[in-house]
A and B are shown apart, each in its own frame.
Chain A
Amino acid sequence: MHIVYPAVVSALLFSVGIYGVLARRNTILVLMSVELMLNAVNLNLVAFDVWLGDRLHSGQVLTLFIIVIAAAEVGLGLAIVLALYRNRRTVDIDQLRDLAESDTSGDPAEPAASGGPADLGTSGDPADPSTSDDPASPPARRLGEPAVAGDSAATAQPVRRGGAL
């Protein structure tokens, strides 16, 4: 078996994963792309383990470890995505722009304070042509509206508890 074959396949797979991470808007799709990249690494490890004939099977064992870690990562990642969705009513990664300094700077609490449904209007940043120029209404708005009633009840719960504490 030429080692070049699995190595090239893994390189292509990794590049596809990079494209997915950089180009996809939905956070869950980004997570999938990360899985693709991890699998490319796994393939590399297995191929070189076979090629080197390692007596300790370090390549395959590391593959197993990576699979475990990937499972943990997906679990945590999805938990973060869910928390994000509860707060922002969106999982679109290019609408999460708190890293940038807003022009009405000096009030760092502003984006967080206006979390929830009210954030939809402001987070549709006019500086971003990909959202504001879109003729179709942003998915977050379309998604958020039917969910407001149920989720606001769900999110209102801990707030009340926090206040009681």
Chain B
Amino acid sequence: MAYSKQLIKHYEKPNNVGNFGTTAEVKERADIGVGVVGAPECGDVMQLQIKVDQSTGKIEDAKFKCFGCGSAIASSSVATEWIKGKTLDEAMEIKNTDIVEELALPPVKIHCSVLAEDSIKAAIKDYQKKNT
């Protein structure tokens, strides 16, 4: 199975790797939402953190960490790139199929894009929960 150029680019040089602090630190911050999806026993864990500009309601920055295959890492990279500068509602609109298309994911790797979509939604929900 050969991977697309886009996928290899995002795998070899992923964008926005990192976090805004330790698990304990980000938990205390109202401007940060954290989504952790997947499970080690399934071979994929994605952690997505979003930093929201609370005056504009836009995602000003996003960071990810990923335990998973090349497609999972590339999907996370694409997700963080796409959500930056978007409002929460706009970010909620991102579909896994968009990521599949962007990276030309083969059928067996579609679950990686689902995980990326889920991580965006989980991070937004976490932010909203902190700010209600």
**A, B assembled together:** no
Query: B interface vs A, CB < 8 Å?
Result: none
